Amino acid sequence: MFREELLVCLAATTRMATDNRDRAHGPANGTRDPDGDRYDAHLERSRIVWDRWSDYYTMSENDLEPMREAAIDRLDLEPGDRVLEIGCGPGVNFDRVRSEIGEHGELIAVDYSPDMVAKARERIEHHGWENVDVRRADATTVEFDEPFDAAIATLSLSVMPNIHRTATTVHRSLVADATFVVVDIRPIPDGPGRVLNPLLWRFLRWYANWNPDDDVVDALATVFDTHEIVDTSLAGTLYTVVCEKGD
């Protein structure tokens, strides 16, 4: 019974994915255009999709909290560190990161969805955090004045329009020997469950504007000196990668 309901649900998401693709518009004002129309369409669709989910996102933010917290622990942050967060959504990682870096550290977060940024700013204001800042920007092309001691991206890299280029931007924005920790989602990597991958692919595409043309782990392996998958769950679909920049 559950399987039939799942199939009906995924079939519906397939139709909605097509509908939503039809609604994609051109580039937002001021957006650079590294890969042409496909890049711009993906970015614009991200804005639409994540603005839409921003009102509901906090309902599920506790679901993956243990994995997010374990990822932050792997950054080995120290008081006073300057941290970059990519695709922060409504700021689900802010509290934990801030508790590690203290009031003398700094957390700069980036998100492309104006409504997600507004939610993240509400959280910052609610807590009165003066050393946490969120900027509305495309994480793939954003530039910073000063480098960071560490960076984190939870469930965001795989929805970027050019994942390799985003990894390069993060790498460039870090000091030597810095760590970048990524939690992300992928199709079922092995075993008979892989038969579900086409449906999962369509669901993620509709739900999250997931990017099927680029592979997160491959991109990290190409750009960073070292990378290691240190944690997996949900049949290998949810995973954590620790990357080191080297000196």
Which residue's beta carbon is nearest to the bound ligand SAM?
89
Q: Which of 38, 10, 21, 45 is nearest to 204 (CA)?
A: 10
Please compute Rg for the chain using Cα positions: 18
User: Which CB sits closer to ligand SAM, 26 or 79?
Assistant: 26
Compute, in degrees rounded to 10, the torsion defined by CA atoms 5, 204, 117, 53: -20
* CB count in 10 Å sphere of residue 191: 9
Crossing angle (nearest 10°) for helices 197-208 and 2-23 = 50
CB of 139 to ligand SAM, least distance (A): 4
Which residue from 116, 150, 216, 223 is in contact with ligand SAM, where contact means CB under 6 A?
116
* Beta strands at 238-244 and 226-233: parallel, antiparallel or unpaired: antiparallel
**Whole-number Å distance between alpha carbons of 83 and 107:** 5
- Contact set for ligand SAM, span 34-63 (CB under 6 A): 43, 46, 50
**Whole-number Å distance between alpha carbons of 118 and 245:** 32
CB of 247 to ligand SAM, least distance (A): 28
CB of 191 to ligand SAM, least distance (A): 25
Binding-site residue total for ligand SAM (CB under 6 A)?
Answer: 22
Number of H helices, E strands in the chain: 8, 7
Work out whether 112 is an interface residue with ligand SAM (CB under 6 A): yes
User: Which CB sits closer to ligand SAM, 29 or 195?
Assistant: 29
**Whole-number Å distance between alpha carbons of 17 and 204:** 9
Binding mask 141-180 for ligand SAM (x = CB under 6 A): -------------xxx--xx--------------------
The answer to whether the beta carbons of residues 20 and 206 sit under 8 Å apart is: yes
Binding mask 69-108 for ligand SAM (x = CB under 6 A): ------------------xxx--x----------------
User: Which CB sits closer to ligand SAM, 155 or 178?
Assistant: 155
Give the binding site for ligand SAM (CB under 6 A): 43, 46, 50, 68, 87-89, 92, 110-113, 116, 138-140, 154-156, 159-160, 208
